[in-house]
Amino acid sequence: MDFEIRRALPEDIPAILQLIQELAVYEKEPEAVEINEATLLQYGFSEEAFFNCYVAEFRKEVIGMALFYPRFSTWKGKSIHLEDLIVTQKMRGKGVGRALLDKVVAYAHQQQLKRVEWVVLDWNTPAVEFYNSYGANVMQEWNTVHLDEQGIQNAIEKINT
C-alpha cells in the first residue's frame, strides 16, 4: 500500500476532527469530543500553536493521524506526549499506525528529546500488543489522573472557601 506521512495542513482539519470523533466512538465515548474545527485551527495552525500533527494520506484521503505536544519530565527533561495515534478502521493493519509512530519517534530523535509518552486503554488489546511489539514500555502500574472541566471548577470552589 502506497501512503504518505506528512505534516498536517489547515485543509486537513475536517479529516482530523473526523478521526478524533471516530476514536471517541471506538473508545465508547462518542459524546466526549467538545472541540471543533476552529479549535484545531487556533491551537494547531496559528501563532498560538499548541500541538503538532502528522497525517497519513492515501489517494488524497487522510486515513490516519498522530497528534502530539511538548512536555517536560522532571526526571528526564524535554519530551513529547502523543495524545492520539488514530488510523481509520478500514485502513488498520496495513502499517499506517507504525509509519505514523515512526514519524513521531523520528521527530523526537531529531529534536533530541528524552521521551515520547502516551496512554492506552487497558482493554484496547490490539493497541497494547502493537505498542509492545514496537518496543514501548506499557507501564501497567501507572494510572492516568486528570481533572476535567467540572473537576477544575470544583477544586477552585474548594480553594476559594
Active-site residue, selected from the candidate residues 43, 69, 107, 131: 131
Q: Is 65:56 a contact under the CB 8 Å cutoff?
A: yes
State whether residue 8 is helix, strand or coil: coil
134 annotated active-site: no
The pairing of beta strand 115-117 with beta strand 77-87: parallel
Q: Residue 70 contacts by C-beta under 8 Å, 6 or more apart in sequence?
A: 78, 79, 80, 81
DSSP run (H or E) holding 99:
helix 96-110
Q: Is 100:83 a contact under the CB 8 Å cutoff?
A: no
* CA 83/CA 144 separation, integer angstroms: 13
Residues forming the active site: 131
